Amino acid sequence: MNANEYRRVMQLKPGDERRYALAERGVLIMADEIDGSASYSVALDFMYRHLFEANVPIWLFLNSPGGDVGQGFAIFDLMKALTAAGCEVNVLGVGYVASMATAIMQAGTKRYSFPNTQFLVHQVRQVLPFFKSEEVNEGRERQQEMDRINDIAMKIIADRVGMDLDEIKKLSEKKDYWLDAQSAKRFGTNGLIDEIVTEFPF
C-alpha cells in the first residue's frame, strides 16, 4: 500500500502529515477519552499494521483519563490479537493513564512510563440519569451486569500484574486507587508497568 492509499484508508485530512509520519514508524497516539471514535481510529491503525506491516513494532503513546468500558475492551482485544499474531505492541504511558486506559496498557508487549505519569485503578462506574424510575428487579439486574463487567476489567489488570482478583477489587473498593510511576512498577508481582524511562524508548 502506497502513501496515498494509506491516507485514504486512514481517513487522514490535510494537516495530518505529522500523524502519518509517526504512523509510518509505528508510533500511534491515543491522547483522549476512550470512546467509539478513539476505538475506531485505533482499530484502523492496528488492522493496517497487521495486514501490511506486521514486522514493524507498534508504539502506542497512551495519555487517557479512561472512558467507555466496552470500547476499552475492543482496543484491549485488538492489541492482544496483534501480539498473538506475532506483532510487538509496546505502550508508553504519559500524563494520566486512568481507569480503562490502565487496563488497555496491560495488553502491551512491553509497558513503559515516564517518571511523572499517574495511574488510576478503580472499579467500573455507571452514570445514571437523574430521576430515572426503576423497578427493584431492574436495579438488581443492572447491578449484576455491572458486577460482571467489573470482574472482566479487574481480571485484565489482575492477570497481568500477578495479583488475586479479590485483592485488586478490595484495593479499589469505594475509592480511586492512584499510583505514581514508582508505585505502579511495584504493583502486584509484575507491576502495572515494566520500566520507567526518561527518554523515548523507540
Domain enclosing residue 17, as ranges: 3-196
Name the band, by pLDDT with cuts 50, 70 and 90, for residue 53: confident
The pLDDT of 141-164, averaged and rounded, is 94
Q: What are phi and psi of 116, to 5 degrees?
A: -100, 10
45: number of CA atoms within 13 Å, CB side? Answer: 27
Cα distances (angstroms) measured from residue 116 to each of 26, 93, 96, 136, 183: 24, 10, 9, 45, 11
Give the H/E segment covering residue 83. helix 69-84
202 in any annotated domain? no
Min mean pLDDT across 6-20, 32-46, 132-146, 158-172 is at 6-20
191 in any annotated domain? yes
201 in any annotated domain? no
Give the H/E segment covering residue 196. strand 195-196
161 in any annotated domain? yes
115 in any annotated domain? yes
pLDDT value at 2 more than 60:
no
User: How many domains is the chain built from?
Assistant: 1
140 in any annotated domain? yes
Tens-digit pLDDT profile for residues 97-128: 999 999 999 999 999 999 999 999 998 866 55
Q: What is the domain-level CATH number for residue 134?
A: 3.90.226.10
- State pTM to two decimals: 0.87
Name the band, by pLDDT with cuts 50, 70 and 90, for residue 181: very high
Please state, in angstroms and rounded to a whole number, the distance separating the CA atoms of residues 9 and 51. Answer: 13
174 in any annotated domain? yes
Please state, in angstroms and rounded to a whole number, the distance separating the CA atoms of residues 7 and 142. Answer: 42
